[in-house]
Amino acid sequence: MAKIILTHEVAGLGAPGDIVEVKDGYARNYLVPRKLATRWTKGAEKQIVTMRRAAKAREMATVEDALAASDKLRQANVTVPAKAGSGGRLFGTVTSADIADAVKAATGFDVDKRKIELPARIKTTGPYTVQIRLHDSVLVPVEVEVVAT
């Protein structure tokens, strides 16, 4: 058995920063070459600490902070400009990165694009409701208006 540190989320094993034991061949032939994990060492364990600190810095500190931010997000007028043709059909789609940029412009909050859940592919202009996960227990619905430029 090999002791490894996960650097990315792996289904059935764990989240980034978790220390797990897997079979030698699985670690050597799959996880390590694909940079999903690194071999466990004392130095690598220190790296885990920095990864966890970075993840905590990106996520809201407490539920109270997330709830306070959620009130501002619910009241915000978020407008996403996109290139569109006749009939409101977009040239491409609106991504979670586009929405994160629009939220930052409208509210000043820096939202991680990976925390934005889109209802479906946004391919036309109009109003949409997206979900933003500010904390593990706080999911905020935000109204987004996609307008043609």
Reference 122, options 86, 91, 149, 77; nearest CA is: 91
* CB-CB contact of 56 with 50 (8 Å): no
Across 33-37, 61-65, 97-101, 120-124, least confident range? 61-65
The pLDDT assigned to 44 comes to 83
Question: Does the pLDDT at position 57 exceed 60?
Answer: yes
- Rounded mean pLDDT of 63-70? 79
Look up the CATH number of domain 63-148: 3.10.430.100
* CB-CB contact of 70 with 107 (8 Å): no
Q: What is the pTM of this model?
A: 0.61
How does residue 59 score in pLDDT terms, banded at 50, 70 and 90? low
Tell me the Cα Rg of the chain.
20
81 or 135, which is more confident: 81
In the chain, CATH 3.40.5.10 covers 2-58
Tokens of 92: 């491409």
In the chain, CATH 3.10.430.100 covers 63-148
Helix axes 96-107, 63-75, angle to 10 degrees: 90
Torsion over CA of 51, 9, 67 and 82, rounded to 10 degrees? 100
**Residue spans of alpha helices (H) in 3-149:** 24-26, 42-58, 63-75, 96-107
User: Could you tell me the fold of the domain covering 2-58?
Assistant: Ribosomal Protein L9; domain 1 (3.40.5)
pLDDT tens profile 88-102: 899 999 999 999 999
Q: Compute how many other C-beta atoms are within 10 angstroms of the C-beta atom of residue 23.
A: 11
